[in-house]
């Protein structure tokens, strides 16, 4: 499972649903985190990010303020590709490290944060670990995926489109056959025309079934342009098809994990019960929105 995420993070992504390398959180959510980190600006403190990825939250914390007095520790099960901007004496990353067993000293941490990360772990055990490493009065502040959020709804549609592309007699297979026909018979041949019509039918059906945005999110249109371009060699086209299929298999696994990790109303109730049993107080669940659209759920609590 972790190999898919290691490959993803090593592309330089900053969060788990980035559209482009290096793109960080923005808008109201980013400002929300800046405000939280500012509470520790003039304190000596230790902050741990569970499921940190390439350090998006730490980058937000340090972009506009000096926080040399705060020790930042990122924990992630994957192998990362942390940006040079986070190469600082007070920032460290524990790669290939499970949230359930961080190895950090008991009662040594002032705040545990997570942005779309902790819910991928075994939360039954990871919240026990959070309770262990937090000092009395230490805070939990995590944002998790919500199964009613626009992020989950969009990615669920994309997942369905990816699965269609990886299924039998898929548009990828049709594109491969068209490419072979063009190379062998030329674009004016009946074989090429038949293969082209078949590919068009499959692509149109995908758009009709899953929606245009979901199909665009797979980047299949980019593959089409590459494979059907007369300026690319046959070997390059074959390599592009193989690379795309490999990426789609990894993308499928990441999207499945994302969708399955999203919190339901029942998950929130169970988490409330867990945190109470672990002696947390001031437990709150709050909808997180961007541009009036639900994107997640924030969980806050303080260790007694």
Tokens 């371009």 belong to residue: 229
Task: Give pLDDT, residue 7.
Answer: 60
Task: Give pLDDT, residue 6.
Answer: 56
Express each pLDDT in 254-285 by its tens digit. Answer: 999 999 999 999 999 999 999 999 999 999 99
Which residue spans of the chain are classified as CATH 3.40.50.150?
2-149+262-303
Q: At what angle do helices 220-228 and 171-185 cross, to 10 degrees?
A: 10
Exposure class string for 57-71: b at 16+ Cβ within 10 A, else e: bbbbbbeeeebeebb
Token duo for residue 168: 């039998």
Task: Give pLDDT, residue 25.
Answer: 60
**Contacts by residues 36-44 (CB-CB < 8 Å, ≥ 24 positions apart):** 36/113, 36/141, 37/61, 37/65, 37/67, 37/70, 38/65, 40/67, 40/70, 40/110, 40/111, 41/65, 41/66, 41/67, 41/70, 42/69, 43/69, 43/70, 43/110, 44/69, 44/70
Residue 229 CA to its chain's centroid (Å): 32
The partner residues of 6 in beta bridges, in order of sequence, read none
Task: Give pLDDT, residue 10.
Answer: 54
CA angle 59, 65, 71 (to 5 degrees): 65
For 124, residues 6+ apart whose C-beta sits below 8 A from its C-beta are 274
Task: Give pLDDT, residue 204.
Answer: 96
Where the chain has pLDDT below 70, the residues are 1-26
Which run of H or E residues covers position 227?
A: helix 220-228
Q: Regarding the domain delimited by 2-149+262-303, which CATH topology (the fold level of the hierarchy) does it fall under?
A: Rossmann fold (3.40.50)
Task: Give pLDDT, residue 28.
Answer: 81
């Amino acid at each position: 499972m972790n190999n898919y995420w290691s490959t993803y993070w090593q592309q330089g992504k900053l969060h788990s649903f980035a559209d482009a390398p290096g793109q960080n959180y923005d808008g109201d959510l980013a400002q929300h985190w800046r405000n939280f980190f500012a509470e520790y600006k003039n304190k000596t403190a230790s902050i741990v990010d569970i499921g940190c990825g390439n350090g998006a939250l730490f980058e937000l914390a340090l972009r506009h303020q000096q926080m040399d007095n705060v020790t930042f520790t990122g924990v992630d099960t994957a192998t990362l590709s942390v940006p040079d901007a986070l190469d600082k004496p007070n920032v460290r990353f524990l790669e290939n490290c499970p949230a359930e067993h961080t190895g950090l000293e008991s009662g040594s941490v002032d705040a545990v944060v997570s942005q779309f990360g902790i819910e991928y772990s075994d939360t039954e055990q990871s919240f026990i670990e959070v309770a262990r490493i937090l000092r009395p009065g230490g805070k939990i502040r995590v944002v998790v995926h919500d199964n009613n959020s626009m992020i989950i709804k969009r990615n669920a549609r994309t997942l369905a489109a990816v699965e269609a592309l990886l299924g039998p007699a898929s548009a990828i297979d049709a594109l491969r056959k068209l490419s072979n026909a063009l190379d062998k018979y030329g674009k004016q041949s009946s074989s090429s025309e038949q293969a082209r019509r078949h590919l068009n039918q499959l692509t149109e059906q995908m758009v009709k079934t899953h929606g245009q945005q979901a199909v665009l999110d797979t980047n299949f249109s980019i593959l089409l342009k590459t494979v059907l371009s007369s300026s690319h060699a046959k070997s390059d086209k074959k390599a592009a098809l193989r690379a795309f299929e490999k990426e789609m298999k990894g993308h499928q696994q990441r999207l499945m994990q994302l969708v399955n990790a999203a919190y339901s109303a029942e998950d929130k109730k169970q988490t409330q019960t867990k945190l109470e049993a672990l002696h947390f107080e001031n437990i709150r669940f709050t909808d997180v929105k961007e541009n009036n659209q639900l994107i997640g759920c924030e969980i806050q609590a303080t260790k007694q």
